[in-house]
Amino acid sequence: MKNKLAYTLAILTVLVISGFSMFGVDRIMLRMESQSLQAGKTAVLHADLYYQALDGKLITRMDAPINKVMITNRQGELTIYDPEDQTVYRTRELEYSSENNLIFFFLTGKTQDLGLGDMGFTIDRTEFKDGLLITQWIPPRAHSHVFSHIELVHEDHLPIYAAYYDAAGKMIKRVFYSDFEIYSDVILPLTVTEFNYLPGGDSIVNRVRFSDVRTNRQAVSSWFEFEIPDDARYID
């Protein structure tokens, strides 16, 4: 596919932002700008997102620098439609599920543990420092080969920082949540900044910004009903 870096960024962005719930939001639409920096190269992706809680389907309409439509659902089915050449690519992985990501936990009210409890993580240490609540979570046996622990930092009951450490105790990822706003009784961070540290010493920085957030009756668009054209050609 063309614009490989931007396309990869689009996939990563879905893992960060997809997956809204019925807790206060029946449907939501918003504008997104995602910027990724690696080895001096920058990729910027612009897209509009449309989600309905009833069927759990998230539609991401990318318009720059690539023109594609990405559809994900609760079952982890990922469909990418290219309107320029009328082709469709499909795959299915649990990680693509519209309910398997961090922002999902903001919208379901699970801001105290960001879903770590559901994954079997348990609190090992709790500390209060300068008005911040710092908790350290240790993984279940199934994840002990990946993580030694995860650290969460809360301020005013909202998670503002998360740090992930590999099995050897080395930090491999940091995530910052900021610019919180309230929409239909749901608090969302309008900026999510993620630092991923690679084994060779390099890092990938990804920053996602949301704007023009509309929920429920204010979220009106024909894109909520978008379907892949019948004459589209499926590719491997």
Mind listing the pLDDT tens digit for each residue in 23-55?
467 888 899 999 999 888 999 999 999 988 788
pTM check: above 0.85: no
Q: What is the pLDDT of residues 8-18, one digit of tens each?
A: 545 444 444 44
> Domains in the chain: how many in total?
1
Q: What is the mean pLDDT of the chain?
A: 85
- Contacts made by residues 10-14, CB under 8 angstroms, sequence distance 24+: 10/34, 10/45, 10/47, 10/60, 10/62, 10/66, 10/68, 10/70, 12/36, 12/206, 13/45, 13/47, 13/60, 13/206, 13/208, 14/58, 14/60, 14/70, 14/72, 14/78, 14/96
Average pLDDT over residues 216-233: 93
Q: How confident is the model at residue 97 (pLDDT cuts 50, 70, 90)?
A: low
Average pLDDT over residues 171-200: 90
Residue 52: domain span? 4-235
The CATH number of the domain holding residue 90 is 2.50.20.10
